[in-house]
């Protein structure tokens, strides 16, 4: 395993072997500053010998692939899983605030002038800005431990209209599905021929409703998420008496994110880092991956994006997962018998441990996914594998405190895998 090195001025140097790092630590010429990936800082002056290092970034809406390599060997490989719960959390907060204002305050006119100025300055939705900032953060983490001389980013572009209709062309791009319709409701009723999609008119109920297949909170008002139901079937569904066979159509949230974020990420990286930053495209990455007979993984795509295909690959990679920092919801939404609302927050520390602390349990390394005030903890790996559903805190050994990005070392996929 490689050990990353920085000098006494916080400048990154080329990595060294574990043996050399152990000797430097033993004679007191270095100190440990990070456990994963393992990084040491030299306590004596050293400019160090540096080689050109290229960082490949496979940008994405749910995953980020990273790979730093020289012409001879790969120095860093990682896959980052981004958060996808922000939209749901913000929608829940909006519902609670709206309900509280309705109960606690008198009616007041809505105010919008306090938001327009921010939106005119390049405002982005919180769910989008969080994922964009995550790209900058993970790139900066690599920048701090390796002497990067070049950054290559894959800026994927998607033609959503072409994905929906492969035969579209010309002026048809300006004539969407809802052309000549007043609103989404009118279009959905017309699309479904003003007929209930469950009973197909057998209930003889003339009142029609537009039903969300996924909740509006997570699925939105896209026509692919809406179907026509009569009043009878609509009430029966919400009462739990019937089940719908229809499922939501294809969602293009990830493609939309990449359309918004791809040039924003690329241009921002050019502003931040004083090295060459260039972009590449998905079809070039795919062609390089197939020629090298490499499996389809995000960190493998990043290796192909870096362009050093003859370099010797690492036999491991760092799997990273983003988690929320705090849970500020004080009470649970369900009200118990007697009007008692149960608290949603547990103590900051339970027997000295926090949620997502990295611990050693039964000879394996895992993370705390659940805590009980009795001292019984739920320990799992990042893929969800349970090490122990309820083990005493006395049998745990703390490895590292929790962070917003949990890190786990995994073995890399074989380069001879069949595609």
Residue 117: pLDDT above 70?
no
Measured distance CA(139)–CA(156) in Å, rounded: 18
Classify residue 180 as exposed, middle or buried by CB count within 10 Å of its CB (0-12, 13-18, 19+): exposed
Measured distance CA(285)–CA(156) in Å, rounded: 11
- The pair of three-digit structure tokens given for residue 237, joined into one six-digit string: 């569904």
Measured distance CA(318)–CA(385) in Å, rounded: 17
Q: Which of 44, 46, 37, 52 is nearest to 145 (CA)?
A: 37
**Residue 205: its pLDDT value, please?**
87
Instruction: Give domain 326-404's CATH architecture.
Output: Roll (2.30)
**Residue 114: its pLDDT value, please?**
63
SS (H, E, C) 176-191: CCCCCCCCHHHHHHHH
418 band by pLDDT with thresholds 50, 70 and 90: very low
Residue pLDDT, tens place only, 140-193: 999 999 999 999 999 877 777 777 778 777 777 777 778 888 889 999 999 999
Residue pLDDT, tens place only, 44-54: 877 667 889 99
**Residue 118: its pLDDT value, please?**
57
Domain ranges of the chain: 1-50, 51-84+123-160+254-322, 177-238, 326-404
More confident residue, 394 or 116: 394
Residue 144 contacts residue 12 (beta carbons within 8 Å): yes
Instruction: Give domain 51-84+123-160+254-322's CATH architecture.
Output: 2-Layer Sandwich (3.30)
Task: Please report the sign of the dihedral spanned by the C-alpha atoms of residue 222, residue 226, residue 231, residue 232.
Answer: negative
Measured distance CA(387)–CA(126) in Å, rounded: 34
Secondary structure of the chain: what % helix, strand, coil (to 5)? Answer: 30, 30, 40
Cis peptide before 37 (omega within 30 of 0): yes
Q: Hey, is 230 helix, strand or coil? A: strand
Residue 42: pLDDT above 70?
yes
Q: How far is CA 359 from CA 39, 323, 353, 399, in A?
A: 20, 17, 9, 5
The pairing of strands 148-154 and 53-58 is parallel
Phi and psi angles of residue 414, each rounded to the nearest 5 degrees, phi first: -65, 140
419 band by pLDDT with thresholds 50, 70 and 90: very low
Residue pLDDT, tens place only, 251-297: 888 888 888 888 889 999 999 999 999 999 888 999 999 998 999 99
Scan for tokens 């008002």, then name that residue.
Answer: 221
- For residue 225, give the DSSP letter: G
């Amino acid at each position: 395993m490689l050990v990353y090195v920085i000098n006494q001025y916080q400048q990154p140097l080329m990595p060294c072997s574990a043996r050399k790092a152990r000797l430097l630590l033993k004679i007191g010429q270095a100190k440990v500053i990070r456990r994963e990936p393992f990084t040491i800082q030299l306590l004596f002056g050293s400019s160090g010998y540096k080689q050109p290092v290229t960082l490949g970034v496979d940008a994405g809406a749910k995953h980020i692939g990273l790979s730093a390599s020289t012409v001879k060997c790969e120095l860093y490989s990682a896959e980052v899983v981004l958060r996808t719960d922000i939209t749901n959390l913000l929608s829940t907060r909006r519902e609670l605030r709206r309900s509280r204002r309705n109960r606690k305050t008198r009616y007041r006119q809505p105010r919008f002038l306090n938001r327009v100025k921010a939106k005119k300055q390049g405002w982005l939705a919180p769910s989008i800005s969080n994922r964009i900032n995550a790209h900058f953060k993970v790139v900066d983490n690599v920048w701090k431990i390796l002497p990067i001389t070049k950054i290559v980013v894959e800026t994927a572009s998607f033609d959503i209209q072409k994905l929906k209709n492969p035969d579209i062309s010309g002026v048809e791009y300006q004539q969407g599905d809802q052309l000549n319709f007043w609103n989404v409701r009118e279009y959905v009723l017309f699309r479904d021929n003003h007929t209930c999609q469950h009973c197909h008119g057998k209930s003889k109920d003339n009142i029609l409703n537009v039903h969300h297949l996924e909740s509006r909170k997570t699925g939105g008002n896209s026509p692919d998420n809406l179907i026509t139901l009569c009043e009878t079937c609509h009430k029966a569904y919400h009462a739990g008496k019937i089940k719908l066979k229809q499922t939501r159509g294809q969602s293009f949230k990830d493609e939309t994110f990449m359309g918004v974020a791809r040039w924003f990420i690329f241009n921002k990286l050019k502003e931040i880092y004083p090295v060459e930053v260039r972009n590449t495209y998905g079809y070039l990455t795919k062609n390089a991956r197939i020629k090298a007979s490499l499996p389809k993984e995000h960190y493998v795509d990043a290796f192909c994006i870096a362009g050093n295909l003859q370099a010797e690959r690492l036999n491991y990679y760092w799997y990273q997962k983003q988690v929320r920092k705090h849970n500020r919801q004080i009470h649970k939404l369900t009200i118990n018998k007697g009007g008692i609302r149960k608290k949603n927050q547990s103590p900051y520390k339970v027997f000295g441990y926090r949620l997502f602390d990295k611990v050693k349990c039964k000879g394996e390394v895992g993370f705390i996914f659940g805590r009980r005030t009795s001292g019984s903890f739920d320990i799992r790996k990042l893929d969800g594998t349970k090490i122990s559903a309820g083990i005493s805190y006395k049998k745990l050994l703390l490895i590292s405190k929790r962070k917003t990005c949990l890190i786990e070392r995994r073995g890399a996929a074989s380069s001879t895998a069949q595609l």
